[in-house]
Amino acid sequence: MRLKSLVLRDFRNYRSLDVDFSENVNILWGKNAQGKTNILEAIYFLATARSFRTLDRRNLIFWDKEGFLLSGTVVNETEKNVKITFFKNKKSAQINKRQLKKLSDLIGVLRVVIFTPEDIFLMKGSPLQRRRFIDIYLSQVDKNYIAALQTFKKILIRRNSEIKRRTGEKTPFLWDEQLSQHCAYIIKRRQEVIEELSKAAYSYHREITKNKERLKIEYQPSIKVNEPEKENIFKYLAERRKKDIEEGYTARGPHRDDISFIVDGRDAKLFGSEGQQRSIALSLKNAEFNLMCKATGDVPLILADDVLPVLDMERRKAFFPSIEGRTQIFVSSTDKRDVVNIKGDKKLFRVFSGNINEERL
Ligand X SMILES: Nc1ncnc2c1ncn2[C@@H]1O[C@H](COP(=O)(O)OP(=O)(O)OP(=O)(O)O)[C@@H](O)[C@H]1O
For binding to Mg ion (CB under 5 A), which residues are involved? Answer: 36-37
From the list ligand X, Mg ion, none, pick the one residue 13 interacts with, judged by a Cβ distance below 5 to 8 Å according to partner type: ligand X
38 binds ligand X (CB under 6 A): yes
Output 291 or 351, the one with its CB closest to ligand X: 351
Report which DSSP code applies to 265. Answer: T
59 binds ligand X (CB under 6 A): yes
Residues in contact with ligand X, counted by CB under 6 A, come to a total of: 18
Residue from 22, 26, 37, 140 in contact with ligand X (CB under 6 A): 37
Measured distance CA(58)–CA(163) in Å, rounded: 32
Nearest to 351 by CA among 328, 323, 330: 330
34 binds ligand X (CB under 6 A): yes
Output 36 or 189, the one with its CB closest to Mg ion: 36
Output 36 or 57, the one with its CB closest to Mg ion: 36
76 binds ligand X (CB under 6 A): no
36 binds ligand X (CB under 6 A): yes
Neighbouring residues of 313: CB distance < 8 A, sequence distance ≥ 6: none
Nearest to 35 by CA among 66, 68, 11: 11
Given the rule CB under 6 A, which of 28-36, 143-151, 285-293, 339-347 is the region that contacts ligand X?
Answer: 28-36
Specify burial of residue 31 (Cβ count, 10 A radius: 0-12, 13-18, 19+): exposed
Sequence length of the chain is 361
CB 257 within 8 A of CB 224: no
Measured distance CA(49)–CA(51) in Å, rounded: 7
In the chain, the DSSP E strands lie at 2-11, 14-20, 25-29, 67-75, 79-87, 90-95, 98-99, 112-115, 215-220, 258-263, 266-267, 301-305, 329-333, 346-352, 355-359
The Cβ of residue 269 has, within 10 Å, a number of other Cβ atoms equal to 19
Output 12 or 111, the one with its CB closest to ligand X: 12
56 binds ligand X (CB under 6 A): no
From the list ligand X, Mg ion, none, pick the one residue 157 interacts with, judged by a Cβ distance below 5 to 8 Å according to partner type: none
**Residues 217-256: x where in contact with ligand X by CB under 6 A, - otherwise, as a string:** ----------------------------------------
Given the rule CB under 6 A, which of 57-65, 171-179, 199-207, 234-242 is the region that contacts ligand X?
Answer: 57-65
* Contact set with ligand X (CB under 6 A): 12-13, 30, 32-38, 59, 61-63, 306, 332, 334, 351
